[in-house]
Amino acid sequence: MPSYDSQQNLSPAPGNAPPRDKKIDMKKLKTCIWRQLTGEQGTVQPTKFSTVFEQLPQLAPEMGEDLSPHLAVLSVLHLCTDENLGLEATDENGDFTITKDLN
């Protein structure tokens, strides 16, 4: 059986830059989302997550490219626990509505 050098047929690895850590101030992100949910009335208005996420770059421009749907969902989940909020599924591509939990 001939010897086989596994490195012989490999192409060189691409020269990708190392990933950069995302740094988000979660407290500030939660505050931005909370203000968006409560508005001027001071009470939670039912709001779709997609609407919240679309408006976050205007509310917190310094978060810029570090902001991701994943981090925004985590912030919403924290707010659900902290402020007794509820989540309701919608029929729109996995979107959901954030509401005040009436239980």
Among residues 16, 22, 52, 58, the alpha carbon closest in space to that of 34 is found at 52
3-class DSSP state of 41: coil
- From CA 73, how far away is CA 53, in angstroms rounded? 9
Tens-digit pLDDT profile for residues 14-28: 666 566 666 788 999
pLDDT of residue 36: 92
Q: What would the pLDDT profile of 38-96 be if each residue is shown by its tens digit?
A: 988 889 999 999 999 999 888 778 877 788 899 999 999 999 999 999 999 987 788 99
Sequence spans of domains, the chain: 26-100
pTM over 0.75: no
CATH 3.40.50.1980 fits 26-100, yes or no: no
Say how far apart CA 13 and CA 46 lie, in whole Å. Answer: 48
Neighbouring C-beta atoms of residue 96, cutoff 10 Å: 16
Which long-range contacts (C-beta less than 8 Å, at least 24 apart) are formed by 19-27?
22/66, 22/68, 22/71, 23/66, 24/63, 24/66, 24/67, 24/71, 25/63, 26/71, 26/74, 26/75, 26/78
